[in-house]
Amino acid sequence: MAVYFDHRIEAPESSGGPSQVAWHPTQPVLAVASNSPTTGGNIDLYLQQGEHVGSCHVDRPFQPTVLRWHPTKPLLALGWETGEVLLLTHPSGEQTPLPATHTACITLLEWSSSGSRLITGDQMGVLALWKVDARGRLQGSHIVKHDYTKPLTYCIFRPAPPGEDVAMLARAAVGGDESALDMFNWRKAGNGPPLKMGPQEGLVFYVGTADGKVHCVDEHGRSSPVLSVDGSIQKLFYLKRREVLAVVTETLLLSQYTLGPEGGAQELMKVKLSGKSGQSADIVSTETGLLITATGEQVIRLWDLERDDNYVLSLDESLGFEKGEVLNCVSYCTAKEILAAGTNRGRIALWRMVSQPNTRTGTKAQWKLQTPTEIEGNVTQLQWGSNLNLLAANSVTTVLILCEHVMSAHFGQQVAAVQLTPSQLSLTMFNTNSHLTLRSDMHIKGVCVTKDTVTVWNGKQVTVYEPSGATLRNTALCESSLSHPLPSSVHDENIYTVEPNRVQVRTPQGTVKQLLAFSEAEGNPVLLSVCQGYLVVGTDTAHIKVFDLTRREAKAHCSAKNLVDLTPNLGALRSVKCNANGNQVSILVTRVNGRPDHRMYFYDVEMDTLSHFDFFTGRPPSGISQADDTERCVCVCVHSFDCLSERCPVSHFWDENEPRLFVCETVLVNSPQMDHLDRVGADVLVVTFFCTQEHGLLLQDSYPKPAGLQALLALDVPYYYFTCKVGTMTNVQVDTFYVTSPHMVSRRALRDFQGLENCEKATRDAMLNFSFYLTIGNMDEAFKSIKLIKSEAVWENMARMCVKNRRLDVARVCLGNMGNARAARALREAEAEPELEARVAVLALQLGMLEDAEKLYKCCGRFDLLNKFYQASGQWQQAVETAETHDRIHLRTTYYSYAKYLEAIGDKSMALVFFEKSDTHRFEVPRMLLDDALSLEIYVNKMKDNADSLFTTDSRLLMILKCIQILYISQASEIANETGNRAASYHLARQYESQEEIKQSVHFYTRAQAYNNAIRLCKENGLDDQLMNLALLSNPEDMMEAACYYEEKGSHMDRAVMLYHKAGHFSKALEVAFATEQFSALQLIAEDLDETSDPALLARCSDFFIKHDQYEKAVELLVAAKKYHEALQLCLDQSLTITEDLAESMTVTKESKDLSEEARKELLERIADCCMRQGNYHLATKKYTQAGNKLKAMRALLKSGDTEKIVFFAGVSRQKEIYIMAANYLQSLDWRKDPEIMKNIISFYTKGRALDLLAGFYEACAQVEIDDYQNYEKALGALTEAYKCLSKAKGRSPDEHEARMAELQHKITLVKRFVQARRLYEDDPGEAVRLCEALLEEPDLDPAVRIGDAYGFLVEHHCQQGSFQVAYRKLEDLQKLLPSLNISYYVSQGSLDALQRAVGLPLGRGQLSGRGDRRDSGGEEDEVEEDEALVSHQGD
């Protein structure tokens, strides 16, 4: 909250009434011109609090007319009615008159933007331009002079075109920006665009005259007319954004012109402004194109030239303004965005702009009228000025200086002080629950309280008060020579005051005890803050320094830290605070552009590190920890940080005793309250952190500040302390955790201490430690800190804390110590919910934290649970809205539940509406209106008129109900039988039951499908036959009930068995069936048994079927009972065929826990053995394979003779023995005709590494080539491969292996000689014959080379040579050796015919047993195929 302190100027007695005021643009110096009818005119200068500067007094016997300050220098230009112009320097009072140029009254004085040029103009139209140096000294005579012959009324400099911001470029260059460095480096100027410095100030200006003309004077002093309007020109202003010149005349005619490059002007628009005629208008303009006028009316008129819009601002009588009060003058403060207006009743109205510039919203709503400041007299002139944004008000008789001051407030040692008025404080002592009011004789600029003293100051003096009963007495007063207020602070009996370059330590009497000096580089102290025994000081150069005050003298706790080097774009320090240990300092800063920084900085004194929390992103940087690395804590912290984004901190405090606990106030970044100190009603969030070296910054709690509270004042566990606006305490709405003190302070318990506000210190410390360790996720330390606490209230409070931190594991412990079994059970049942927030909401509900539960359900999107919550808490409107917008799947259910609730409270009309919405009205409405026949009849007829389908077809329901009411039972029965309406049948059945007409009642209960009621009547009245039928129609529970009835009765046991069976109670059905020997029923029951049934029950049934020779069913039941071995043995004993389905049912999966792995494999092998006995080799193979016994599986497969599966199984098994077994099997086939089999034989022997067997196979191939095809060349190749394989093989006996190798080598030699002879025959027949005859002399030629082939070769040769006698002898020799030989197999038929003709004797033909002539058409193809097989393998 802020107020305006007013300081009346200390005007000399000789001065008259003030006529003009002028503020210096940057310095707090005010110039006041006054007129006296006796002494003439005076000019005086005054400081911030109205102090008169005696050295700067100027008086003349004539009147002053114009005052203009230099834009930067303390230099004032004065214009007089005689034409004199004077320059007055502050504070020296040096007066420099300008050379006499004007002879008429001065009407114009205007400085250029940087003050290098001064324009003077008079009533006669004479204009002069003067040059002033950088020190503010006049440079000779005027440099330009023009005479326009008409009075000059207004002048304005045209702003310079935008150029490069040299200061920003220089700052960037120092920061290392290469592009900025290149722009300053002339050597690299050619590499990029040149540095466009632009003129330092605009030297072109426009001057208006009384005849409505505007002239332009360029930078060379040349004047040219630009435009002309009707009437005297009162105001000129330039719209920089649009480059438009606006002109306002005395008749309030507004014109806008665009200016050409050569000086011409083109009119854009012309409009007559509204205003009171005959009254001089006070007109101001803003940089955003806003034109503001006050013309002595009750409103202020505003024209937005950028948007072409206009509106008015009026006074509000509810704020203290009077009816008929008019506004005389206006002034606008750009820095604060405040518009001030003075009234004729001595009030100053202030409007604050509460929206961003350029926001296209309602225009009038952009301004908020503040409480007025009252002064004496008629306010004729207002002006904002200086860098302190001071307001000067001229009230004809005097001038008042108003400065905005934030109402001081302080809290310390359970004492709170809040400023009520400029000189009044409200004091609250919480320890004694008492209240005092302090009235001081000075304007209080600051206050500091302790339990024993109240210290106030105004910048010049510090006053100390001590409580004395119900009053305060002044005990000490110390003076200061400062002219402006600076902060002070108090610790013990020492007062710390700020002086230039030092902090003075004084006694309450003002004696200086110690000086805490700061170097020039460290700057001047501007901020002080004390916490426990530590003082932190902030300087104007952004240095901070901490002092230890616990000793006799203050001692530096750390060296001064320069924050400029560590913080980008830092402008100045806003606030510094330290914690109770002095090892952490929190800092608020402003940026270079003057806007508050959205970061909260923390300086660790011991580690000498600076970290921050960015409230704009809502996240700490990587250097600040969020929580422990447990997933749950991180989840909670990340969720909690989400609400902190796009905010800016505005105040901060450390707990007075707990060094880890820190709190700050934050507002939205774009909120007006970010810059303004009055934050009542703003969207303010109070955020509490734990801050430590080990864990960084940990979010402890955050909540919105309640309405009515003004600002955070302090943090002192277990309370937050807030200030309240004057007059609002009685209207502040606070919850049960708020404790409101009298008058100006309200305190709120911390979340972890709600309900424990009066606990002792040990409990308070334990709760703090518990909260801290819970935040970091260290549960061992958390529980250790509270293990001695026995209070249920403390445990309940910790359980509430767990809701905020979402720690359900801790909550279970808390609920256990509370003894809250119901909440513990609800929490355990809530574990089925997948969302953590939903589970936490259950805990919140059990603890009565309904708002938290509601927020949690919304947060996790569980609108179904939120709907149930609303219904359970009686919030039916919210429940319906939730169902309609987010939970439409339960919409009809919600409507129905709401209708039932309305019916229960007697609101049947609304209940009827919601029954219809839930689409249950066809049954529920007649039920509800059953006692009101007239209403029911009206409703049914209404439904018929609305074409409701059910009521149209079953409209006779009303007649049924009415007949029942008037006891026309027979008519009601007929109607019910005709319509078949269930509701009618039910009510009719009840009526018959009340009349003890049991059969009719059972009949209508059956029609209404109310079988349980029908069964009840049958049991009570012995209707056993109907009972069976009804039970079969009803649900399992009713079936069980009827079966028990039959069993207890002892009759119709077959019905009991059937009902037990139908109800799914197989064990009971079998028990009764066995007991009564109902075998047919047992057969039906057994058909429904499966593996999910009771194993004992299955075994019992299987025994029953074995006794009755039904072995297949018995086996199935044994398998279902998982008695696999008994089932298998039964199959063997009874020679039952094991089908594939049966085998699969007996196969136990690897994942099953019924059998171990070894037992499972044993069972599979037994199944496979049984299949082998039964000849089911394929199934046996499958089971052996599942058992992992591939050898047995291969043997079973070999027995099956399935070549394709044998080859496939060998390929996938990849076992040596299986390869050999497969190859041996394939050799038993006709591999001579199938090359693919031959390939597989060779491949399997090779993969099985049976090279000796492969060699034998090659020998067999060679023998086939010789015997069947006489192809010795291929036989030689096969023998060669056999030799290679045999040479690589490892024989069992080396001697035997060597003998076989030698035998094979000899065979190869013989075949090779025969092949050589046959090949040599074409070239040298004689040598070939000689080689062949030599072969015949070999004793063991056959079977390597058949003797018949050798003799046949010789017989063919001699026949071709014509030596038939020799050929005949050779043939005879062959027949002697082989008497049963078929000669035609070795000798061609042509040679035999020729030989027979030559010798004249018939040749006998012997038959070689087992041999035949293979030389047919298919032989060549077979030979080709075998040759391809051998060649392909040899290639491999």
Q: What is the DSSP string of 521-587?
A: TT--EEEEEEETTEEEEEETTSEEEEEE-SSSS-EESS--EESTTTSTTEEEEEEEEE-TTSSEEEE
DSSP 417: E
Q: pLDDT tens digits for 866-923? A: 988 899 988 999 899 999 998 889 899 999 999 999 989 989 889 889 998 998 887 8
Tell me the C-alpha distance between 1198 and 1181, whole Å.
10
Q: Is the pLDDT of residue 738 over 50?
A: no
Reported as half-sphere exposure (CB side, CA atoms, 13 A), residue 400 has a value of 22
Whether 747 contacts 738, CB under 8 Å? yes
Q: Which of 119-128, 904-913, 1222-1231 has the lowest mean pLDDT?
A: 1222-1231
Average pLDDT over residues 545-573: 88
Q: Which of 704, 722, 705 is nearest to 713 (CA)?
A: 722
**pLDDT for residue 816:** 80
**pLDDT for residue 1317:** 77
Q: Is the link from the previous residue into 151 a cis peptide, with omega within 30 of 0?
A: no
Q: Which long-range contacts (CB under 8 A, 24 or more apart) does 513-519 make?
A: 513/553, 514/553, 514/554, 516/547, 516/554, 518/543, 518/545, 518/560, 519/560
Q: pLDDT tens digits for 231-272? A: 899 999 888 888 889 999 988 899 999 887 766 788 888 888
Mapped onto helix, strand or coil, the DSSP state of residue 65 is strand
Q: Is the pLDDT of residue 1436 over 50?
A: no
Q: Angle, to 10 degrees, between the axis of helix 1095-1107 and the axis of helix 1066-1076?
A: 30
Q: Which amino acid is at 324?
A: G
Whether 1202 contacts 1182, CB under 8 Å? no
Q: In terms of pLDDT, which residue wins out, 651 or 1355?
A: 651
Q: pLDDT tens digits for 282-294? A: 899 888 888 899 9
Q: Order of strands across the sheet with 661-668?
A: 647-654, 661-668, 684-692, 696-704
Q: pLDDT tens digits for 360-374? A: 444 444 788 888 888
Q: Is the pLDDT of residue 633 over 50?
A: no
Q: Is the pLDDT of residue 641 over 60?
A: no
Q: Which of 355-359, 1234-1238, 1372-1376, 1412-1416 has the lowest mean pLDDT?
A: 1412-1416
Average pLDDT over residues 106-110: 94
Q: Which of 692, 688, 653, 711 is nearest to 531 (CA)?
A: 653
Q: Which of 117-131, 430-444, 966-980, 1296-1310 has the lowest mean pLDDT?
A: 966-980
Residue 156 CA, chain-centre distance (Å), reads 55
- Total residue length of the chain: 1436
Tell me the C-alpha distance between 1410 and 818, whole Å.
106
DSSP 576-594: EEE-TTSSEEEEEEEETTS
Most confident of 139-143, 1012-1016, 1316-1320, 1432-1436: 139-143
The secondary element (H helix, E strand) that includes residue 980 is none
Structure tokens of 1068?
A: 């009971």
Tell me the C-alpha distance between 689 and 695, whole Å.
11
Q: pLDDT tens digits for 391-401? A: 999 988 889 99
DSSP 1402: P
Q: Is the pLDDT of residue 334 over 80?
A: yes
Q: Taking the CA atoms of the chain, what radius of gyration do you get in angstroms?
A: 58
Whether 936 contacts 929, CB under 8 Å? yes
Whether 253 contacts 231, CB under 8 Å? yes
Tell me the C-alpha distance between 535 and 525, whole Å.
12
Q: Is the pLDDT of residue 447 over 80?
A: yes
**pLDDT for residue 927:** 81
- Residue 687, number of CB atoms within 10 A of its CB: 24
**pLDDT for residue 77:** 94
Q: Order of strands across the sheet with 95-97?
A: 64-69, 75-80, 85-89, 95-97
Q: Is the pLDDT of residue 578 over 90?
A: yes
Strand partners, 118: 111, 130
**pLDDT for residue 939:** 80
How do 434-439 and 381-385 pair as beta strands? unpaired
Whether 371 contacts 727, CB under 8 Å? no
**Residue that the structure tokens 């039972």 belong to:** 969
How big is the CA angle at 1375 (ends 1372 and 1377), to the nearest 5 degrees? 115
